[in-house]
Structure 1
């Protein structure tokens, strides 16, 4: 909005408190702070929700792939030719044989439920989610037939195991004897402890070479599934469509959207709901701008009448009061963006401080999935929040500006 020189002078004059206008200035300051807090809260919440989705997607998909070819009955015979066909499918980046089975592990009298995952050693070492996540030992020490495993940090804590400990993994489906089925128990050396940051994975997963998993589960040369990664996770179904008829007689293809549908749909619903609720907070904040401008117009009625008699047009007065209101909104938006970004940067420190003050555990990894509060700020989303708040601020100025422009100087100055 382009203002003339005298309009700018009057606008700046009205933005600062005059004699006897301290209350109006207080209301305007409260308006600015309210807009600031609303914008900051919306930026923080949306960034955290984006971070949740991004972290869960990266770590869940990083360990499980974009899709899996799951064999009927948990077994996939004659898998090598199918593996080759999968790798040759257009759009497939990688395909890896894998075995996954829930079992039990024991160490020093402690027993924990685990998820055994058998993979080729090269696939374990090249997994992006596990890369750099080893907190003790070395996954590079995993070797076929060496009876060595890598376990999650929270599983190690629950068992009381550490690098060098020998845990026993129990397969209830052991060998049959005249006296019944005897569970299969094999001892493994822990050579690495990892922490990927997802509670369920760190609490249960045990990685071992695929050959050892086949021996433990009595699978022979069979595997359980083929893990697939594609060029575009969002279009995984279209990419793998040509592969569906080729695996129909041996298994089914399940993509990440199906495996985690309820989780990601819940996050999306929560994201929309939080956006709407916090947008209402900003809307309530701009009502303070409306009230402060109405009071300002009432206080400046005589000044407005004098300006009209000096030749100021209705459009000129409208521009002045719209600029005053939107300036308050813009200052609040700028402060809110700064406060929001600062809060995001120090988010974990804030949570730790609140936990220290209240004595409550606000971030339980067993409930929240992730060990730390994530955040991912989208610049376009921040811009959208700023534009939304600016739109609300602009709309709040229209009625006071209209009332100011409608002032009749004859009526106001009749008895002057």
Structure 2
């Protein structure tokens, strides 16, 4: 919609408050602020929801792979051949044997539930970018050294060089009953994955040490698999599933975390719908301000009509005046949203300081800090929605103004 110089001049004049029109200008300003806040809220919340999902996927998949192969009964014999077969499967980039078992750990009288994880040296080395302190290279078979999560170290009060005792209830049988197996391990490194549950429970050790601790011999319980495309992991591992039928079950990352990601998807849609109502309310404010403007300018509209202004010109003038409010509010909202996302952690800290409440508890939120990942397509959709609703809100007042009968208005002038 291209405006002539005359139409643009009148539209700019109507956007500025005149005598007795301060209230209309106030309503228009409130409309602009409402659009800005609605767009900013949508951008912030949707980006945080996207970041939350993406961070969870990255951290969970980064530690557990795209799929795991679990042996029936918890023991997979001849696992070397199985690993070799899985690695030869097209689309598989890595297959790593591991042992995972929930046990107990004690240090200085403190007892905590832990998840013992036995890995091969090359898999332990992948924790290098998550290491906070210590030396992962010290985790060698038979060295009795382990790496533990940062929050587990805080809970136990243990540091590098301390020795924790891991208790395996399935110990050796004696004439007096089963005696739990207790082995001391020196802490060689402390790591932080970024997911509270992992950092609060994981104890990583060499695969051979885990086999010794759990008395499993040369068998393992799980094979971790990484594929070239996590979205097609089911199709990639379909041949493996058929070959291992009756011996093991294959579960991909979607199946393992299905309830979590389904809940996130539902919450994401619900938040988008609820926050879109803010933009809709702002649009009604634009509608009301334009209706008041049309009523205030009825005489001016009649004069313009008698001077030769067409109904199309009047429509374009009022559509432009209302649409610019929505457009300026949308642009301001995008800027506000991006600024808030850039300083989101500082904003959370300020709110916590004033309220005295902890808004981001890692034990509840899974992640240690507020994540955010902006999707350009989603931001475009939000902006387009705000602009389209703003445009639609201008149509009724603009058509009402265009249908003004100058004869009826100016009869008694």
Q: TM-score, normalised by structure 1?
A: 0.98
Matches within 5 A, 1:14-413: 14-126=14-126, 130-413=127-410
Cα deviation 1:331-374 (Å, max 9, x = unaligned): 00000001111111111111111111111111111111111111
In 1, the alpha carbon distance for the partners of 2:129 and 2:356 equals: 33
Gaps of 5+ in 1: none
SS in 2 for 1:248: coil
In 2, the alpha carbon distance for the partners of 1:114 and 1:374 equals: 27
In 1, the alpha carbon distance for the partners of 2:154 and 2:199 equals: 10
In 1, the alpha carbon distance for the partners of 2:339 and 2:179 equals: 59
After superposition, the Cα gap between the structure-2 partners of 1:116 and 1:293, relative to the gap in structure 1 and judged at 3 Å, is: same
SS in 2 for 1:196: coil
Deviation at 1:84, TM superposition (A): 0.8
SS in 2 for 1:161: coil
Cα deviation 1:29-54 (Å, max 9, x = unaligned): 00000000000001100001001100
Cα deviation 1:142-183 (Å, max 9, x = unaligned): 111100100001100010001111001111001111111111
Q: TM-score, normalised by structure 2?
A: 0.99
Cα deviation 1:189-241 (Å, max 9, x = unaligned): 10111111100000000111111101111111101111001111111111111
Deviation at 1:138, TM superposition (A): 2.1
Gaps of 5+ in 2: none
Query: How many residues matched?
Result: 413
In 1, the alpha carbon distance for the partners of 2:299 and 2:5 equals: 21
In 1, the alpha carbon distance for the partners of 2:385 and 2:252 equals: 36
Q: Is the 8 A contact 2:145 2:205 kept in 1?
A: yes
Cα deviation 1:14-72 (Å, max 9, x = unaligned): 11111221111110000000000000001100001001100110011111111011001
Runs of 4+ deviating beyond 4 Å: none
SS in 2 for 1:171: strand
In 1, the alpha carbon distance for the partners of 2:227 and 2:68 equals: 11
